[in-house]
Amino acid sequence: MSDLFSLKDRVVLVTGASRGLGFAMAKAMGEAGGTVVLNGRDAGTLETSAGKLKADGIKAEIAPFDVSDFAAAAKAVADIAKKHGRLDVAVLNAGIQHRRPLLEWENADFQRVIDTNLTACFVLAREAARVMIPRGEGRIIMTGSIMGIVARPTVHAYAAAKAGLGGMSKTLAVELAPKGITVNVICPGFFDTEMNTALTQNPEFNAFVKSRCPLGRWARPEEIGGAAVFLASRAGSYVNGHMLVVDGGLVDNL
Ligand SMILES: NC(=O)c1ccc[n+]([C@@H]2O[C@H](COP(=O)([O-])OP(=O)(O)OC[C@H]3O[C@@H](n4cnc5c(N)ncnc54)[C@H](OP(=O)(O)O)[C@@H]3O)[C@@H](O)[C@H]2O)c1
Q: Are strands 11-14 and 243-246 parallel, antiparallel or unpaired?
A: unpaired
pLDDT tens for 54-101 read 999 999 999 999 999 999 999 999 999 999 999 999 999 999 999 999
Q: Whose CA is nearest to atom 17 of ligand 1?
A: 195
What 3-state DSSP class applies to 220?
coil
Cβ neighbours of residue 27 under 8 Å, at least 6 residues apart?
Answer: 36, 53, 56, 58, 222, 225
Ligand 1 centre to CA of 21 (Å) is 7
Q: What is the DSSP letter of 157?
A: H
What 3-state DSSP class applies to 241?
coil
Q: With DSSP H G I counted as helix, E B as strand and the rest as coil, what are the percentages for the chain, rounded to 5?
A: 55, 15, 30
Instruction: Tell me what the pLDDT averaged over the chain comes to.
Output: 97
**Residue 21 binned pLDDT confidence (cut-offs 50, 70, 90):** very high
Catalytic residues: 158
Closest-lying ligand 1 atom to the alpha carbon of residue 20? 16
In whole angstroms, what is the distance from residue 244 CA to residue 182 CA? 14
Closest-lying ligand 1 atom to the alpha carbon of residue 191? 3
Closest-lying ligand 1 atom to the alpha carbon of residue 66? 32
Amino acid at 94: A
101 lies in which domain range?
A: 2-244
Count up the domains in the chain and report the number.
1
Q: Is residue 252 part of a domain?
A: no
Q: Is residue 171 part of a domain?
A: yes
% of the chain with per-residue pLDDT over 90? 99
In whole angstroms, what is the distance from residue 31 CA to residue 144 CA? 23
Q: What is the pLDDT of residue 254?
A: 82
In whole angstroms, what is the distance from residue 193 CA to residue 190 CA? 9
Do 125 and 172 touch, CB atoms closer than 8 A?
yes
Q: Is this prediction's pTM over 0.85?
A: yes
**Residue 217 binned pLDDT confidence (cut-offs 50, 70, 90):** very high
Ligand 1 centre to CA of 134 (Å) is 30
Mean pLDDT of the 28-38 span: 98
Pocket test of ligand 1: the residue of 19, 67, 75, 115 to mutate, having most ligand atoms within 8 Å of its CB, is 19
Q: Is residue 251 part of a domain?
A: no
Q: What is the pLDDT of residue 1?
A: 58
Q: Is residue 253 part of a domain?
A: no
Q: Say whether pLDDT at 2 is over 90.
A: no
Q: Long-range contacts: 51-54, Cβ < 8 Å, 24+?
A: 53/26, 53/27
Q: What is the DSSP letter of 139?
A: E
Q: What is the pLDDT of residue 253?
A: 95
Ligand 1 centre to CA of 52 (Å) is 18
In whole angstroms, what is the distance from residue 192 CA to residue 124 CA? 26
Amino acid at 124: L
Q: Say whether pLDDT at 132 is over 70.
A: yes
Ligand 1 centre to CA of 178 (Å) is 31
Q: What is the pLDDT of residue 168?
A: 98
Which is nearest to 141 in space by CA: 16, 20, 2, 250? 16
Q: Say whether pLDDT at 203 is over 70.
A: yes
pLDDT tens for 147-181 read 999 999 999 999 999 999 999 999 999 999 999 99
Pocket test of ligand 1: the residue of 18, 19, 21, 158 to mutate, having most ligand atoms within 8 Å of its CB, is 21
**Residue 216 binned pLDDT confidence (cut-offs 50, 70, 90):** very high
215: CATH: 3.40.50.720
Amino acid at 234: R
In this structure, the residues whose C-beta lies within 6 A of any atom of ligand 1 are 15-22, 39-42, 45, 66-68, 93-96, 116, 143, 145, 188, 190-191, 193-196
Which is nearest to 121 in space by CA: 165, 181, 78, 64? 165
Q: Is residue 188 part of a domain?
A: yes
Beta strands in the chain (DSSP E): 11-14, 35-40, 60-64, 89-92, 138-143, 181-188, 243-246
Q: Say whether pLDDT at 3 is over 70.
A: yes
